[in-house]
Amino acid sequence: MFRKILIANRGEIAVRIIRACRDLVISPIAVYSEADTRAVHVGLCDEAVCIGPAASVHSYLNIVAIINAAKNTGAEAIHPGYGFLAENADFAQAVTEAGLAFIGPGAEAMRIMGSKTSARRAAIHAGVPIVPGTVEALTSFDEARNTAEQFGYPVMLKASAGGGGKGMRLVASFDELRSAFDSAKSEAASAFGDSAVYLEKAIERPRHIEIQVFADGHGNVVHLGERECSIQRRHQKVIEECPSPINDPVLRERMGAAAVKLARAVNYLGAGTVEFLVADATRDFYFLEMNTRLQVEHPVTELVTGLDLVREQITVTAGAPLSFRQEDVSWNGHAIECRVYAEDPENNFFPSPGRITYLKVPCGPGIRDDSGVEANSEVSIHYDPLISKLAAWGRSRDEALDRLRRALDEYEVGGIKTTLPVFREIVRDKEFQSGQLDTGFISRFNERRSAARVSEAKDSDPEQQVRNDMALIAASIHYLRLQREASRNAQVPVETQSRWKMSGRVDLLATRDVTSSRVKKPRTR
Ligand code: MV4
């Protein structure tokens, strides 16, 4: 077993990896930027190395500095967490070439899955159903028109190099194809440095369900069931559940077997996630993409299977077989996770950085909070503003929801704005409670909210409106400056930039509906 592992990350996921290291009596080593000298993950490690200034391109994305830190401290392995360098095949290769172990799959599997078109070809090769569409980039507008006719409108154009919705366009009919084709290509070029786009038939109101897979170096590949991730805002997950409220053991086995076939086909190692779109009515499922990392939402799988995914990542990288077989995996009860962000839901979810002046973290039966902050922590503008992942487990979905509601009401964060009030509303929403989820949930939920608040907007304070708009303009100027800095550094893949930079919020300047941003303070109890 490794004696020292360097953690190439920060925040809650660094803390999660530190805990797995401690359980295995491995010494965790932190890296940190100049903005993170007092961060929680630094204080919890045995050693910590400063790897550069606040901007992540100069610190958490600095491959040379991170590998040097590992060598200088005698670490034998590097855990990349998620985001930053986690899916950068060049990083995985550089780590291995430096004589260190990369806790993740091989660079080759990462490269195949890094391109959506090559991932789709791998899926076909493995016999896994994909969303109908092309498996090569479109070479001309004529080809786009012909394939759109072949598969039938509505279609979606997606960036080959992409993932997560950037460079994605829904095209309802031929009238929209020209402008969608041109804008998808230019968005893909500026986001990924690669203008290639391909085409898929659009699946209407699908669920987004993903399968957790795990592989060791001894030929064992297993699945740990599904997570329901249909609740997304601007292609970022908001709430995740295990199992899906569909909770269909036959569907789980079919999707699990497909995911295992794909992992085998690319000689996968460690933890991976295979994403699918699921048509509710027919229970047909279609491969979307494979994420070659530990996912943010892994805790819901851990709560329901009782397994420790990070521990297993470390032990299989060290050469051990998986500690369980497929037939040992069982799913007990239900878990639901909320991603709590330092964002202002009353101001279009703009980041709300600053010092946490007060913190009361919920606890009690069935509650787990994976956090990267504490009282007096500074939430930096430089990184993803995730504060914690609040998860609840119960014997049934209803029991998990009861506990989640209680925990959300207990949770108090002072000094900054958070998304907690939105979660308190979602867990009381009838549609959410019903479990009839699909990818249109958030927009329907927002419609219901604004409908309920139309009268509220009328008597709002005009001076507060001005203050809100000033704050929005200031944040936007800061955002544009960060974006310009990031684009100067061409070798940085967009996926590894912070979540809110990727979410394209600058377009809010042009499109924001000022009335809908003024909402009533939700009743929490
Ligand atoms: C789709 C789709 C419908 N048909 N692909 C892909 C990235 C993800 N963030 C959004 N994606 C979608 N891809 C086809 N062929 C619908 C979506 C989608 C979506 C998926 C999951 C959760 C929320 C979503 C919101 C809008 C669109």
Q: Residue 485 Cα, ligand 1 centroid: separation in angstroms?
A: 29
CA-nearest residue for atom 18, ligand 1, is: 439
Does ligand 1 lie within 6 Å of residue 305's CB atom? Answer: no
Report whether the peptide linkage leading into residue 243 is cis, meaning its omega lies within 30 degrees of zero: yes
Does ligand 1 lie within 6 Å of residue 165's CB atom? Answer: yes
Q: Residue 439 Cα, ligand 1 centroid: separation in angstroms?
A: 7
pLDDT at 487 (0 to 100)? 53
Q: Residue 278 Cα, ligand 1 centroid: separation in angstroms?
A: 11
CA-nearest residue for atom 5, ligand 1, is: 202
Q: pLDDT for 252-302, tens place per residue?
A: 999 999 999 999 999 999 999 999 999 988 999 999 999 999 999 999 999
- In the set 16, 169, 233, 293, the catalytic residue is 293
Q: pLDDT for 19-53, tens place per residue?
A: 999 999 999 999 999 999 999 999 999 999 999 99
Q: Residue 51 Cα, ligand 1 centroid: separation in angstroms?
A: 37
CA distance 334 to 255: 19
Residue from 168, 495, 499 whose mutation best tests the ligand 1 pocket (most atoms within 8 A of CB)? 168
Atom of ligand 1 nearest to the CA of 163: 7
Question: Taking a C-beta distance cutoff of 8 angstroms, is the pair 124, 140 a contact?
Answer: no
φ, ψ of residue 21 in degrees (nearest 5) = -60, -45
Q: Is 448 one of the catalytic residues?
A: no
How does strand 358-360 pair with strand 350-351?
unpaired
Q: Is 331's pLDDT higher than 80?
A: yes
- Residue 399 CB partners (closer than 8 Å, separation 6+): 333, 334, 366
Residue 221's alpha-carbon distances to 115, 125, 213, 282, 358, in angstroms, are 23, 18, 7, 28, 45
Number of H helices, E strands in the chain: 18, 22
CA distance 413 to 417: 8
Instruction: Report the pLDDT averaged over residues 208-229.
Output: 98
Q: pLDDT for 41-50, tens place per residue?
A: 999 999 999 9
Q: Residue 189 Cα, ligand 1 centroid: separation in angstroms?
A: 20
pLDDT at 166 (0 to 100)? 85
Q: Residue 291 Cα, ligand 1 centroid: separation in angstroms?
A: 15
Provide the pLDDT confidence category of residue 512 given band limits of 50, 70 and 90: very low
CA-closest candidate to residue 113, choices 235, 237, 248, 265: 265
DSSP 25-56: T-EEEEEEEGGGTT-HHHHHSSEEEEEE-SSG
Top-confidence residue, 407 or 493: 407
CA-nearest residue for atom 27, ligand 1, is: 439
Q: Is 333 left (phi over 0), alpha (psi -120 to 50) or beta?
A: left
What's the predicted TM-score (pTM) here? Answer: 0.88
CA distance 435 to 444: 14
Residue from 116, 171, 277 whose mutation best tests the ligand 1 pocket (most atoms within 8 A of CB)? 277
Residue from 439, 442, 495 whose mutation best tests the ligand 1 pocket (most atoms within 8 A of CB)? 439
**Tokens 């309802």 belong to residue:** 172
